[in-house]
Amino acid sequence: MCPDPRPEYFRGIDGQRLVGERWGASADLLYLHGFGQTRQAWARTAAHLAAAGFGGLALDGRGHGESDWNAAEHAYSMEQFIADIDTVAAGQPSRPVLVGASMGGLLGLVTEGESASGRYSALVLVDITPRWEAQGVERILDFMGAHPEGFADLDAAADAIMSYLPHRRRRKTPEELSSLLVRHADGRWRWHWDPRMLDEVARDGARYQQRLMQAARQVRIPTLLISGGLSDLVSDATVDEFLQLVPHAQHVRIADATHMVAGDRNDAFTAAIQDFLTALPSRRAVSATAPSVDTVPGVAP
């Protein structure tokens, strides 16, 4: 059994307060969520891995969850997110394994690939590659921007999520939704992230693709890419390109998961990470080898 997580607090590059929580006694892993998510996206995986001996830190990015939002007169930029994560990673007692979903994975790629001495002992990238399918990104951003007025109640929010993720059989509970939404003074529930990021960060991501590809070429540490077999953001073409950029990387495809891999098939997702962690050669960088594919129950190559 893993004890409840402990809150931890950090300062971003410009003094912004960043809120995280520590799972387990060790500092093996650093979890970075995707755009528009919070650290709660990792709760089940972090609890399971901590109980297995792999403790870690799950962080809310600026403008997300309980971390500070930028002041109204200050725009968001990807450079702020990159600098925040670089600062937090550099302050860990040892080099953690970076587990990053979507935007969190991109931040991991940049901070590792552009560091002269490296930031992490290994990388786990969750359904993200340096180049992605534009149509998938647009679908995500359309959903995120579809309810600027918020929701009258949590049932309405649950309906919207079910419509966006119709393959999920289980409806989110009020307790689960409370980590995704916050109730404002007008009584309406809105997402737990700053909507200004939609225009200021998300739609500007494509111009970073060449930088991300160059960063990927510099990655020398053990790397695992986990993709969703039903993802419309990562495709066979983008995976193949990534494996050319990082030829020693492993790839696991979870056949019945979308871009929201951890939420769709948390069992197979967590098992893939645990297998990867268990097989790490004392957390030492490995020399380049041919791409390989791991399989776990419910996972297709």
Give the span between the Cα atoms of 195 and 207, in whole angstroms.
Answer: 21
Phi-psi region of 24 (alpha: psi -120 to 50; beta: other; left: phi over 0): left
Distant-in-sequence, close-in-space partners of 115: CB < 8 Å, separation ≥ 6: 86
188 close to 152: Cβ distance less than 8 angstroms: yes
How many DSSP H helices and E strands does the chain contain?
A: 11, 11
Give the span between the Cα atoms of 171 and 154, in whole angstroms.
Answer: 11
Distant-in-sequence, close-in-space partners of 41: CB < 8 Å, separation ≥ 6: 33, 34, 101, 262, 263
* 206 DSSP assignment: G
Give the span between the Cα atoms of 25 and 205, in whole angstroms.
Answer: 36
- One-letter amino acid identity for 280? L
Q: In what order do the strands lie in the sheet with 6-11?
A: 6-11, 17-23, 56-59, 29-32, 97-101, 122-126, 223-228, 250-254, 292-293
Q: In the numeric block, which tokens belong to residue 222?
A: 């053990």
- One-letter amino acid identity for 95? R
How does pLDDT run along the chain (301 residues), one tens digit per residue? 667 899 999 999 999 999 999 999 888 999 999 999 999 999 999 999 999 999 999 999 999 999 999 999 899 999 999 999 999 999 999 999 999 999 999 999 999 999 988 999 999 999 999 999 989 999 998 999 999 999 999 999 999 999 988 888 788 888 888 888 999 999 999 999 999 998 877 767 778 999 999 999 999 999 999 999 999 999 999 999 999 999 999 999 999 999 999 999 999 999 999 999 999 985 433 333 333 333 333 443 3
Give the span between the Cα atoms of 24 and 33, in whole angstroms.
Answer: 19
Q: In the numeric block, which tokens belong to residue 223?
A: 């790397």
Cα 136 to Cα 132, 191, 213, 256, distances in angstroms: 8, 20, 19, 17
216 close to 104: Cβ distance less than 8 angstroms: no
Please tell me the predicted confidence (pLDDT) of residue 232. 94
The pTM is what? Answer: 0.90
228 close to 127: Cβ distance less than 8 angstroms: yes
109 close to 123: Cβ distance less than 8 angstroms: yes
Please tell me the predicted confidence (pLDDT) of residue 203. 65
Give the span between the Cα atoms of 211 and 157, in whole angstroms.
Answer: 36
Strands (E), 172-240: 181-183, 189-191, 223-228
Q: In the numeric block, which tokens belong to residue 132?
A: 């992605």
Query: Please, what sign has the CA dihedral across residues 43, 45, 49, 55?
Result: negative
Distance of CA 73 to the CA centre of its chain: 27
Please tell me the predicted confidence (pLDDT) of residue 282. 55
* Strand (E) or helix (H) holding 32: strand 29-32
- Three-class SS state of 36: coil
CB-count burial class (<10 Å; 0-12, 13-18, 19+) for 52: middle
